[in-house]
Amino acid sequence: MSPADITETAAMLGAAGLPARWAAPVQRYCGGHRGLLDVCCRALAAAAPTHDGHSRPHWPPQVREAAGAWLADVPVEVRDTLRVAALARYPDADLLRQTGRSAAEEHLAHAVRAGLLTDYVAAGPGEVVPPHARFAAEALAEAAAVGTTAERLHIHRALAEAVPDPVQQAWHRALAQGTPHQGVAEDTAQAGATARENGERGRAAELMLLAARLTPTSHLGLRLERLSAAAADAAAAGRADLAQDAAARIAAGRGSPAQQLHALLAVADAHGQDLAAVEPLFATARRLAAADPALLAAVELRAAIQANIRGGAADRALHHAGTATELARQGGDLPLEAAALTMRARMERVMGHADNAPATLAQALSLAVPPLRLGIRNSPEFLFARHTVFDGRLAEARQSLLALLPAAQAAGEAEDLVEVWRSLAEVDCGLGACELALEWSARAVELTRAAGLSPGPAWYTAALAHSCGGSFTQALRYAEQAVRASREEHDALYTSRGLWMLGAVRLHTGEMEGASAALAEVAELETLSGSADPGMLRWQADAVE
């Protein structure tokens, strides 16, 4: 049978009573392999009380045991080569030969025939990587890497000598270093900075965490700086696990209130739409901010975003955005002021303040803060493009979005890139360029999966694109899973959007009763949200039909 795709994985999790947000990490861990998925879902369901549903799942040992049994079917010398491959980022036969695995090509071919590796793969959306062998499931790589500490240190030393990429050299040297070492820590931190410049924000976060661990205790200030950088990179990559690790270490190291607060906000940002998971952090963040206006502004801005996502509180979101604007101005933080003004303009548009929103957005644009300073999705330039979409000026919107795309690609902030791709899919649907819309939405779904972002927005967009130019069957699957994922994360915005697509697809496939129920719930949610601009979600025509 073919591997399960992301929506099938989400459906299997749903049948086991597990959250839709786990679909991406579970699919990566099991590789879509139905046997591993079955073991994983059963074990996770049995352990459900130990999971909060918001963080990444703790992988049950049964899956690695099943993967280990699969690996046991190949000869021991193949397993030894696979152990080296599992510890390398981009393994190929040449690299493995340089580490002493002289029969690497034959061993890799054997592993491909056994289904343990996929054949050489090229880059995916947003990637620039060499062709390389890839394990068919992360669980297989994890099982293959099992060995003694001495064996792993030896392999990392060999890989540090063999890999051509300086960033990967630093990575392996750091993993081969068992105790704090100032020189290795410096090299690792520099590699993290290089990864950040190259848009590899997740790898940058991992490197900065390693650099912090290797920093001697006599350099506590430097260690805290590296942990702060790791938290920021983790937020940009959507890696809540790494952000939480950095934040916990900053608190344990008695970082300054500003360092602790920014790390907590990085955790919140990394959770994407799932702000219910981080609600308890806001009280701590306000305490840490004390009377510092710029720090308080950062907290107020997140409170505005949370109120908007949760729904039914547009007026509260507008209030928080206005407060954030004033505080940022008092604190002299121009980028934060621009972001707060942008959020205020967004909420003014939602509430139908047609006279205020353009003026507020113009004020944000006049501050001339480069979009990358704010994050593309938080920038006034991106909101301007979104407003042109709402106004039906699709050609202009497309031009604005394409102008932002290179910066989003270069920055490596996963959620920014997903938001630009999703908007382009929406625009191309409206322009009748259905093949392009499907391509943009597929990229958004794949990067959402790879980065572990909240899946509701990308699945909604995939449903929209498939309803315009793909398959109604696929559109229905994506819409159903978008609704489920968004409900679980208490995301009223994308629950409403997913329901619209669910109703629209059912309408066009003749399921009138189901369409009516879904669209009636959209009407209820939109009324509760306080949304007064019909251009932002065009569900009314389907409801009338």
Does residue 146 carry a pLDDT above 50? yes
- The pLDDT tens digits for 456-502 are 999 999 999 999 999 999 999 999 999 999 999 889 889 999 999 99
Q: Is residue 123 part of a domain?
A: yes
CA dihedral 189, 372, 320, 281 (to 10 degrees): -20
CATH number at residue 465: 1.25.40
In this structure, the answer to whether residues 185 and 260 fall within a common structural domain is yes
In this structure, the answer to whether residues 178 and 246 fall within a common structural domain is yes
In this structure, the answer to whether residues 23 and 117 fall within a common structural domain is no
Q: Is residue 214 part of a domain?
A: yes
Structure tokens at 365: 């644009």
Q: Is residue 479 part of a domain?
A: yes
Q: Where are the alpha helices (DSSP H) in 48-181?
A: 61-71, 76-87, 93-98, 104-113, 138-144, 149-162, 166-176
Which residue segment(s) compose the domain that 489 sits in? 454-544
Count of alpha carbons within 13 angstroms of residue 366, beta-carbon side? 7
Q: Which of 270, 286, 314 is the last residue of a domain?
A: 270
What's the CA gap between 385 and 401, in Å, rounded? 6
Q: Which of 224, 243, 270 is the last residue of a domain?
A: 270
Q: Average per-residue pLDDT in the chain?
A: 91
In this structure, the answer to whether residues 117 and 192 fall within a common structural domain is no
Q: Is residue 350 part of a domain?
A: no
Does residue 240 carry a pLDDT above 60? yes
In this structure, the answer to whether residues 143 and 177 fall within a common structural domain is no
In this structure, the answer to whether residues 460 and 531 fall within a common structural domain is yes
Q: Is residue 283 part of a domain?
A: no
In this structure, the answer to whether residues 195 and 251 fall within a common structural domain is yes
Decide which of 133 and 86 is more confident. Answer: 86
- The pLDDT tens digits for 39-64 are 999 999 998 655 555 567 889 999 99
Structure tokens at 332: 């002299």
pLDDT value of residue 522: 86
Q: Is residue 288 part of a domain?
A: no
Q: Is residue 132 part of a domain?
A: yes
In this structure, the answer to whether residues 187 and 248 fall within a common structural domain is yes
In this structure, the answer to whether residues 37 and 75 fall within a common structural domain is no
Question: 532 falls in which pLDDT band (50, 70, 90)?
Answer: low
Q: Is residue 142 part of a domain?
A: yes
Tally of domains in the chain: 4
Q: Which of 247, 270, 293 is the last residue of a domain?
A: 270
In this structure, the answer to whether residues 208 and 143 fall within a common structural domain is no
